[in-house]
């Protein structure tokens, strides 16, 4: 498989997570076992559990912007601005037509439509009370578009609908557009506002896939024998991505290098994952990176806490990472924050990026009794683990209607 001659690197990270509003805070929570899941009440549904973000939207937006825009847009704006700051870009000097915004989403427009139907119901559904912001709020490109409005970006922007695989897709798109020379800077990642949608909670509840637990912090428990479903979360993460030559020319600090990726489809079921296709996607990404399975030092798993979903993924992982992969560690981030849907892949990858420097693998928490069908060698449970080598990270993200995405990053080496 031919490798591109250009190298693409990450030079900035911005995020909003349920247990941290910056990479440093997020990472500290992951290393110290701090959950971001809390009790949460949603209209028509009642009390449930969710991963809720507590960032300050007014750091980068005015109150009027919040009234006109969307929650997903606000999360994206916060993460994008944080990423630009982290990358130490001289934003005033950056050529805005040469900046692209590529954000993965699970869905968009559901939240706004539900809210507006509720509001108009107070006025006997009189159309004159329908918000004239409805259309720009609900178009699929909205979160990425709101970022361009906020930052004055005149280059391309769009979102990529990829269910829960979408965060990785945003990064893959940014990578590809940089290789093609379409842009010089890519703001790439994923975003989710899912906790504001009654339909999301009701859908998972009707499937018997919504997590319940007396202690919110223990509700999200992938791989545990008593896991009982998904904790829905909001959040987002955006990376500043550049060609290596450009990053070096401006003296940027390089966080990581994009090593490989893959995307494929199960083509078998609306909901139930296909372990064989997942394994093929993982193997394809490793091959594209010019690596072997034993060269992967950390796998951040997608596992959401559903019974069959976790089992299917573990089967795929065992198929790819055999006995020779003694230096390969596995962990899970959803045990801390729940499932951030379209933001899941990139948010979870962001939380693991510091491991390239400190060589510490954050744990999967809430595993009191490991399901034997989810057993993996070097699965880090409940306490952080030091890894002898940590030069590569592989992130898995799998979504409904059978979409699979895998992204691999590695430590930058000149």
CA–CA distance, 291 with 260 (Å, rounded to integer):
9
Q: How far is CA 193 from CA 89, 112, 166, 201, in A?
A: 28, 10, 13, 12
Residue 196 near residue 373, CB atoms below 8 Å: no
Catalytic residue, candidates 115, 157, 297, 339:
339
Q: For residue 319, how many other CB atoms are within 10 A of its CB?
A: 16
Query: What is the C-alpha separation between 99 and 95, in angstroms, rounded?
Result: 7
Query: Buried b vs exposed e over 154-188: b needs ≥16 C-beta within 10 Å?
Result: ebbbebbbbbbbbbbbbbbbbbbbbeeeebbbbbb
Which residues in 252-381 belong to E strands, given as ranges? 256-265, 298-301, 329-332, 360-361
Here the tokens at position 92 are: 């005033």
Catalytic residue from among 302, 314, 325, 362: 302
**221: which 2 tokens?**
């428990």
Residue 273: left if φ>0, alpha if ψ -120 to 50, beta else—which one? beta
- Selection from 409, 411, 171 nearest residue 288 by Cα: 409
C-alpha–C-alpha distance, residues 147 and 310, integer Å: 34
Q: With contact defined as beta carbons under 8 Å apart, do 393 and 353 qualify?
A: yes
In the annotation, is 302 catalytic?
yes
Which listed residue (164, 171, 314, 374) is catalytic? 164
Active site residue 164: yes
Read off the tokens for 144: 């990425």
Tell me the three state secondary structure of residue 356. helix
Q: Is 120 helix (H, G, I), strand (E, B) or coil?
A: helix
Task: Read off φ and ψ for residue 401, nearest 5 degrees.
Answer: 65, 20
Residue 365 contacts residue 33 (beta carbons within 8 Å): yes
What Cα–Cα distance (Å) separates residue 43 from each residue in 89, 195, 203?
A: 42, 11, 14
Cα end-to-end distance, the chain, whole Å = 23
Q: Which residues are catalytic?
A: 164, 302, 339
């Amino acid at each position: 498989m031919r490798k591109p001659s250009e190298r693409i690197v990450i030079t900035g990270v911005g995020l909003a997570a349920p247990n941290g509003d910056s990479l440093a805070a997020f990472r500290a929570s992951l290393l110290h076992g701090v959950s971001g899941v809390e009790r949460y009440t949603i209209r028509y549904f009642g009390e449930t559990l969710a991963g809720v973000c507590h960032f300050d939207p007014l750091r980068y937006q005015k109150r009027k912007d919040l009234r006109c825009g969307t929650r997903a847009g606000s999360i994206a704006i916060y993460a994008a601005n944080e990423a630009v700051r982290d990358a130490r870009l001289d934003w005033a000097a950056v050529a805005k037509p040469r900046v692209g915004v590529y954000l993965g989403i699970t869905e968009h427009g559901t939240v706004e439509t539900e809210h507006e139907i509720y509001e108009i119901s107070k006025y006997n559904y009189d159309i004159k009370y329908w918000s004239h912001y409805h259309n720009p709020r609900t178009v699929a490109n909205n979160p990425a578009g709101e970022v361009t409005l906020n930052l004055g970006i005149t280059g391309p922007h769009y979102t990529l609908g990829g269910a829960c695989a979408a965060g990785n897709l945003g990064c893959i798109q940014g990578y590809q557009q940089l290789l093609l020379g379409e842009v010089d800077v890519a703001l790439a990642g994923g975003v989710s506002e899912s906790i504001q949608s009654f339909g999301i909670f009701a859908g998972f509840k009707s499937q018997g896939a919504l997590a319940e637990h007396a202690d919110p912090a223990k509700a999200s428990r992938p791989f545990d024998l008593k896991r009982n479903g998904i904790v829905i979360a909001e959040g987002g993460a955006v990376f500043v991505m550049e060609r290596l030559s450009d990053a070096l020319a401006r003296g940027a600090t390089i966080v990581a290098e994009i090593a490989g990726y893959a995307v494929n489809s199960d083509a078998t079921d609306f909901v139930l994952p296909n372990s064989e296709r997942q394994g093929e996607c993982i193997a394809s990404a490793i091959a594209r990176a010019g690596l072997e399975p034993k060269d992967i030092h950390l796998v951040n798993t997608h596992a959401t806490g559903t019974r069959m979903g976790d089992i299917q993924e573990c089967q795929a992982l065992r198929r790819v990472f055999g006995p020779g992969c003694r230096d390969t560690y596995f962990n899970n981030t959803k045990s801390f924050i729940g499932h951030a849907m379209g933001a899941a892949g990139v948010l979870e990858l962001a939380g693991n990026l510091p491991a390239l420097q400190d060589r510490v693998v954050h744990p999967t928490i809430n595993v009191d009794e490991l399901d034997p069908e989810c057993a993996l060698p070097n699965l880090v449970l409940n306490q952080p683990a030091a890894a002898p080598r940590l030069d590569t990270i592989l992130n898995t993200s799998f979504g409904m209607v059978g979409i699979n995405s895998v992204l691999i990053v590695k430590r930058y080496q000149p």
